[in-house]
Amino acid sequence: MKILILGARGNLGQQLVKVFSIDNNVIAWDMTDVDITDKNLVDKKINDLKPEVVINAAAYNAVDKCEINDEEYDLAKKINIDGPKFLAEAALNVKAILIHYSTDYVFSGNEEGGYREDDLPNPVNRYGKTKFHGEKKIIELSGNDLKWYLIRTSKLFGPKGESEMTKQSFFDIMLEQSKNKQNLEVVNEELSCFTYTPDLAKATRELVDKNYGYGIYHIINNNACTWYEAALELFKFVGINIKIIPVSSEKFNRSAKRPKYSVLLNTKFPLLRGYGEALRDFINFID
């Protein structure tokens, strides 16, 4: 199959390129190949290429930056709303399947029981709003016969992407901070699921290869936890003796509000392994 991957130098994009390249013709584009906010260019390049699958791993992910800076918010809207809209229109034109990623931050986080694929989003920050409106642009086109998978995921970690825009994962930040601190304060709230990018990339391929029905999927590693619980797991595994102090979210002065409970419930796809097992693979990889 001819598969186009956008955001190919990002955290997830790189893993998608790896996983889909086995027995497929993968075309990997970053922003220098096509800016997804440029409708004419997106239309032209996708029409020339005629891929069978378009995978969009490109996104604006600076949650706090866009909350306080209006210019950044405009950029986030362009990348996270216009981008998927233009890609969906272009995919429809060439009858390609579109795969797009969204986030647990589309939910308010007031439901302790977690969120199913068909629950109604109600984001509490600007980033979440842009991702929700991006989702809507794709869903709107399903009436026009767009073939689409919308995958919500959360707390990505894995080998770091090459892109300058790429977000540092929580585990990388913890390991870096542990080098020059005796104790670390970590938020013991915001319950949600970590997701290992190689696992998510494999699951994405399975959706396509096994012809799962089009629609929304929640794909995350199993075993929801807080940031604090994940830090304990990390340092226990790597054998670093550091004191981890649980604190509330208010302790850190972050611009954007976070959902308190944003556990994504996966009711449509085989459950992925626990994040602890994936974390061990990740640590062995960076060692």
State the nearest-atom distance from the C-beta of 202 to ligand NAP, in Å. Answer: 15
The piece of 27-35, 89-97, 118-126, 205-213 that touches ligand NAP (CB under 6 A) is 27-35
Which segments within 20-112 are labelled E, that is strand? 25-29, 53-56, 97-103
Q: Show Cβ contacts of residue 21 under 8 Å, excluding neighbours closer than 6 positions.
A: none
By beta-carbon proximity to ligand NAP, the closer residue of 23 and 167 is: 167
Is residue 153 involved in binding ligand NAP (CB under 6 A)? yes
In three-state secondary structure terms, 97 is: strand
Instruction: State which of residues 3, 5, 17, 59 lies at the interface with ligand NAP (CB under 6 A).
Output: 59
Give the one residue of 108, 125, 154, 188 binding ligand NAP; rule: CB under 6 A: 154
> Is residue 282 near ligand NAP by the rule CB under 6 A?
no
Contact flag: residue 125 with ligand NAP (CB under 6 A): no
Across-strand partners of 252? none
The CA distance from 146 to 149, in Å, is 10
| Active site annotation includes 149 | no
Which residue from 122, 145, 150 is spatially nearest to 134, judged by alpha carbons? Answer: 150
**Distance between CA atoms of residues 286 and 239, nearest Å:** 15
Block residue for tokens 């009711």: 267
Q: Which residues are catalytic?
A: 127
Q: Which residues contact ligand NAP (rule: CB under 6 A)?
A: 6-7, 9-13, 30-31, 35-37, 57-59, 61, 79, 101, 103, 131, 153-156, 161, 163-167
